[in-house]
A and B are shown apart, each in its own frame.
Chain A
Amino acid sequence: MQTPQDARDLADLLHDHPTIVLACLRHHRGGTYILAQTTDLPSVRSGNLPLKYKGLEIRYQEGPTIHPLILRLPACYPLSNYTRCQDEPIELGCQIQPAGANWLGTAGAPCAWEDPQGRRYGFLTNWHVAYRGPGEDVGRPQHQPTIDRPAIALLADYQRPNPATNNLCDAAICDALIEGYHTISTQIIGIGPIPAAHADAQQGDYATKAGRTTGLTHGRCTATGAAVRVDYGDFTAVYGDQDVYEGTDALFSGPGDSGSLILTTNRNIPASLLFAGGGKVTIGSPLRHVIAALGIDFDFSR
């Protein structure tokens, strides 16, 4: 079992060594070691990367740069249930485009929260999907599937990454109350309604997600408590205590799937918020961090 201190230590390792993009603990009969992915494997041979950290051996693999999973425009993409325009109520896992943005992402999951005006209903996505861009802020309209159609929600709150610290999630919530009615359904395309409860993913859990690019995909959680470096283009941010997923038969995610909700299929329960990936790996933030940051829940009966 990984402790919060382990997660902080792994994130510190990434802060100290900019070519390490992912690190997690691995346990075997002989003990525990750190499995690290680096974009610069020759640095290991030349002695520029450490072979031990906090008393643990580090084993290196070559790994790709990890990016946030938005789809930059212009782009060609097939029309699907996830990318087409929907009449209300709009099922989630669908494509969205923020006003003024030249990218697409996913409105991942229905959620609810309290604010001074009362209980609000909307959807969960990422900061880098719904917010990012100079001069933008709370209230930014979110369109489905593109800005050619009316807005379905307004950005309500977000948790943005800080390049100088250890981050826990990249998340945003958008209020779907438009002209007195909620534009969204409480269902996810291909998955259906989600339970009100959530749980931490465990290594080895089977998982599924619905996103605008790869649709409904299946995979497994290959690590929890991982530290990840995400390259946002104009800055990089280090995240601690993240979940790592890989597809079982195809890629688990692709550019445009940022914002998707990942559910573990063993227990069919929400577990992580997808926000980044590279090569075969997909990174999700445990929902407990998103809930702590934004105060959301998945209870639509109230």
Chain B
Amino acid sequence: MAETNNPPLPMIQAQIQIMPPSATFWECFFPALLAAAPIFLDALLKCLAKDDSSGYRPGDRTRCQ
């Protein structure tokens, strides 16, 4: 069996740098709120439409025509 000469693995040197803040809190808050809005509205509508009999809800359907 032929011998192969594998090159040595390169040394990985990770450098962790703490970046200085590039935006203020409020600059991040509103885009985040907008991004979450569809999820929030979807959950709200599902909760409102839930058939949990938790109150008397008179219907207004037409049934005599």
B57 touches A87 (CB 8 A): no
- Kindly report which residue of chain B lies nearest to residue A110, judged by CB atoms: B56
B54 touches A118 (CB 8 A): yes
Q: Does chain A have a CB within 8 A of B27?
A: no
- Kindly report which residue of chain A lies nearest to residue B50, judged by CB atoms: A180
Q: Does chain A have a CB within 8 A of B6?
A: no
Number of interface residues of A (CB under 8 A): 27
Instruction: Answer whether A180 and B56 are a contact pair too, CB < 8 Å, given A88-B63, A149-B63, A149-B64.
Output: no
B53 touches A88 (CB 8 A): no
Is the contact region of chain B dominated by helix, strand, or loop, or is it mixed? loop
CB distance from B36 to the nearest CB of A (A): 28
Q: Does chain A have a CB within 8 A of B59?
A: yes
- Kindly report which residue of chain B lies nearest to residue A176, judged by CB atoms: B59
CB distance from A189 to the nearest CB of B (A): 15
A181 touches B61 (CB 8 A): yes
How extensive is the interface on chain B, given as a class? 10 to 19
Q: Does chain A have a CB within 8 A of B60?
A: yes
B58 touches A185 (CB 8 A): yes
B56 touches A300 (CB 8 A): yes
- Kindly report which residue of chain B lies nearest to residue A85, judged by CB atoms: B64
Which residue of B54, B55, B64 contacts A86 across the interface (Cβ within 8 Å)?
A: B64
- Kindly report which residue of chain B lies nearest to residue A86, judged by CB atoms: B64
A89 touches B54 (CB 8 A): no
A88 touches B59 (CB 8 A): yes
Contact partners of B62 in chain A: CB under 8 A: 87-88
A81-124 residues at the B interface, CB under 8 angstroms: 84-89, 112, 117-121
B58 touches A181 (CB 8 A): yes
Q: List 19 A-B contacts (CB under 8 A).
A: A85-B64, A86-B63, A87-B64, A88-B58, A88-B62, A89-B58, A118-B54, A119-B55, A120-B53, A149-B64, A178-B59, A181-B57, A181-B59, A182-B56, A182-B57, A182-B59, A184-B58, A185-B58, A186-B58
Given contacts A183-B59, A186-B56, 12 further A-B contacts (CB under 8 A): A84-B64, A87-B61, A118-B52, A118-B53, A119-B54, A178-B59, A181-B58, A182-B56, A182-B58, A182-B59, A183-B61, A300-B56
